[in-house]
Amino acid sequence: MTPDKHSWQPLIKDHAKKSTKPLIVILGPTASGKTSFSIEVAKMLDAEIINADSRQLFTGMDIGTAKITEEEKQGVPHHLIDVLDPKEKATSAWYKQVAQEKIDQLHSKGKIPMLVGGSMLYIAGITDGLSFDETIRTELRSPEAECKYDLLVFGLGKERSETVVKINNRTEGLFAAGWIDEVQGLLDKGYTKDDPGMKACGYREIMEYLESGSDLEELKSSIAAKTRQYARRQVTWWRNDTRIQWL
């Protein structure tokens, strides 16, 4: 659905005007339209965007992650995109540290930061003040935990039936854009399905397809199904968060 400008523009302008440490968050499940909406908001506020999609941290993984292009950015500065090699590990604790550093840096420059993406724990580390114990792979929810920033959170959502169609169509589009060739290029450079970056949905599956020569249509169907499952988990995670204003 298209957000009603009469509903969100005044909220955003008022938030930016009154907050001492504003942070606008745009979240939502896969294929919900976060990219285009975030660009519109950023241009209105002269804001800068901080990526909160774990898959887009990695270099060389552009097609399968639907990574925003320079043209799509429309001149809006983006941060934490292409900052890791696929062999490097990204953790929630690491992300929280670097994202907060970037938010604070933008505030010091008088800029409004926007956190945009769909990685639930990455966003929660900032918005909920979570701390992480990577040794036991869990988040720690302290009663005293709180967000350091003045939050305005928008969620983009679609009807379930519309989401299914969009994910299926997007999966087809990624393959048509050369996703298999992209993965083959990563293999040629020495990356393997065990590298941390390859946890991004579809990359490991395509590597296994290239090794085994299995059925292409079954591969597409499997990846689309896993993407739909992930979208359901995202919706479930945010469903009861009353701070989110759904558009």
Q: Which domain holds residue 219?
A: 160-231
Place of tokens 């679609």: 158
Q: Domain check: are 173 and 205 in the same one? A: yes
C-beta atoms surrounding 86 within 10 Å:
20
Give the C-alpha separation, 100 to 129, whole Å: 11
Radius of gyration of the chain (CA): 18
Q: Domain check: are 32 and 102 in the same one? A: yes
Q: What is the pLDDT of residues 69-116, one digit of tens each?
A: 999 999 999 999 999 999 999 999 999 999 999 999 999 999 999 999
Q: Domain check: are 93 and 186 in the same one? A: no
Q: How many domains does the chain have?
A: 2
Q: Domain check: are 141 and 90 in the same one? A: yes
Q: Domain check: are 192 and 144 in the same one? A: no
Between strands 78-79 and 48-51, the pairing is parallel
Lowest mean pLDDT among 115-124, 153-162, 170-179: 153-162
Q: What is the pTM of this model?
A: 0.91
Between strands 22-27 and 48-51, the pairing is unpaired
